[in-house]
Chain A
């Protein structure tokens, strides 16, 4: 079975540019999570969706960050404008509807803002 697929795997861009990260959850999973991982703060939840609807976006750091889930098989996390402090590894995870299921993570996008 295909796991959670994230693209791109690496992104290097200059400060001020728009960055779009993409995620394809596991087929049949109805909850999707975006996380950010840094050495200083560890793994932090940014936002999560249930049945394509944003449920909790309290972790989104500021208005420069936005996330969408237009359908059950695709989500984006956008940063506009990007800043050097946004440099981190961004993970997407998904989970099925059955209680007790673990979150399945993608391999992340390593983002560097110069």
Chain B
């Protein structure tokens, strides 16, 4: 079993829809959880960053972490065609020092149709 599992999709939704993206993980040592967005032929860029369990909201985006279930989610409200991209979840075990190693999911390809 891979440490981080993510449904690769593809996921296609109409503009304005609510999008739910999810990852599960197996290692309870993960403490920091991130969502990256990657446009075609570009590098990943950080979208959301959360520590431990709970919710975090930023505009149309909400990240949820449930450590008891080892499950994280990203919700996109009022989705726009500009949200079309690959979304990758990422996790980290330690807070700093020399260990910033991230473990990524394989990414979910999202298309928002006008």
Contact = CB atoms under 8 A, between A and B. Distances in A.
Given A102-B34, A102-B49, A91 B43 contact: yes
B82 to A, nearest CB: 18
Interface secondary structure of A, over-half rule: strand
Contacts of B107: 42-43
B103 to A, nearest CB: 8
Interface of A: 4, 31, 33, 41-45, 48, 50, 55-56, 91, 93, 95, 99-100, 102-103, 105-108, 110
Interface of B: 34, 41-46, 49, 88, 95-96, 98-107
A106 B88 CA distance: 16
Contacts of B104: 42-44
Nearest to B106: A42
Contacts of B103: 45
B45 A105 contact: yes
Contacts of A106: 43
